[in-house]
Structure 1
Amino acid sequence: MIKRSIHHVCIQTERYEESLRFYTEIMGFEIVNETAGFHGRAYNTWIKLEDFMIELQTPKNGDKLNEWSNKNAGIVHMCFMVKDVEAEFKRIKSLGYNDFKIKNSEELYKVEGSYLFKVKAPEGTEIEFRDIEI
């Protein structure tokens, strides 16, 4: 199999409206397709940022989702590269979003010589921002 690129990640949320607002208004994704009543779910929505997509969906009717934890196996966070991490940090704060991960009492902190920050999306997904390649 030839691997070309990642197509999408799927995120389940019991806070659908808040998560959709976060990804569209704060992160800049655009809605590609929103389907109500999708296979036992209230919503299944495709959102896109450049070539990357998220399939945002509510749990199946009657299901209760577990809270996010960095102790779960599998993906712990996803990271977006930005042109200027400090400018992106200020932009998100200026939009009134304040659910940042704190490390050493700081929201914007240095790791291995460069700054980064992390936010927690309404459904619990941890999202990292950096401007330097590893």
Structure 2
Amino acid sequence: MSNAINLKINAIQHIGVPVTNLETSQLFYSRLGFSNVMEAPFTDNGGTGTCVMMQSGNIIMELYQLPDAGLPAIRSRSNGHIDHVAFDVSDIEEAFKEITKAGFNVLEPEPVFLQFWEKGCKYFNITGPDGERLEFNQVL
């Protein structure tokens, strides 16, 4: 592509997920090993919402709850959601075992192989409290 701009992107900085119940979402992500590293209010259309940054290693999930007036739009959203967020893991079988044992809503009966990359990859997905799809992926 000749129209590419000269922009150095280092990594994903954070992934923003609108939530309808911040407490439920914080508990969900903390069970996955994320810690609350920042919490701050913000204004939106005359109301006050809350943003929480949850971190695990180099991954930051931004969970934000809009003021009450904005929640119906989030609940009824039919587009504009992130399709999925993929977390890199070193041992997909162990991750699957731990996630399943912990009682998360796992979408696949076992890790799925794809012929991606040189030797393929394996992945599985879970869903979060607001339907966000979280993928766990190991490049083989």
TM-score range, shorter chain: 0.7 to 0.9
Q: Offset of 1:130 from its aligned partner?
A: 1.5
Q: 1:68 to 1:110 in 2, by over 3 A?
A: farther
Structure 2 length-normalised TM: 0.76
Q: Secondary structure at the match of 2:139?
A: coil
Corresponding position of 1:11? 17
Q: CA offsets, 1:75-130, max 9 Å, x none?
A: 31111111111100111122222x1224xxx3433333543210011111101111
Corresponding position of 1:111? 114
Q: 1:88 to 1:67 in 2, by over 3 A?
A: farther
Amino acid in structure 2 at the alignment position of 1:33: M
User: What percent of counterpart residues are identical?
Assistant: 26
Q: CA offsets, 1:48-80, max 9 Å, x none?
A: 1222212111123312114576xx356311111
Q: 1:53 to 1:124 in 2, by over 3 A?
A: same
* Residues paired across the two proteins, number: 125
Flag the structure with more relative contact order, 1 or 2, with Cα contacts below 8 A and sequence separation at least 6: 1
| Larger Rg over CA atoms | 2
Amino acid in structure 2 at the alignment position of 1:29: F
Q: 2:38 aligns with which of 25, 28, 33?
A: 33
Give, in whole Å, the separation in 2 of the partners of 1:115 and 1:3: 26
CA contact (8 A) 1:81 1:129 kept: yes
Structure 1 length-normalised TM: 0.79
More helix by share: 2
CA contact (8 A) 2:100 2:106 kept: no
CA RMSD, 1 decimal: 2.2
CA contact (8 A) 1:116 1:129 kept: yes
Runs (5+) with no aligned partner, structure 2? 1-6
Q: Offset of 1:38 from its aligned partner?
A: 3.0
CA contact (8 A) 1:68 1:125 kept: no
Runs (5+) with no aligned partner, structure 1? none
Q: Offset of 1:8 from its aligned partner?
A: 0.8
Corresponding position of 1:121? 128
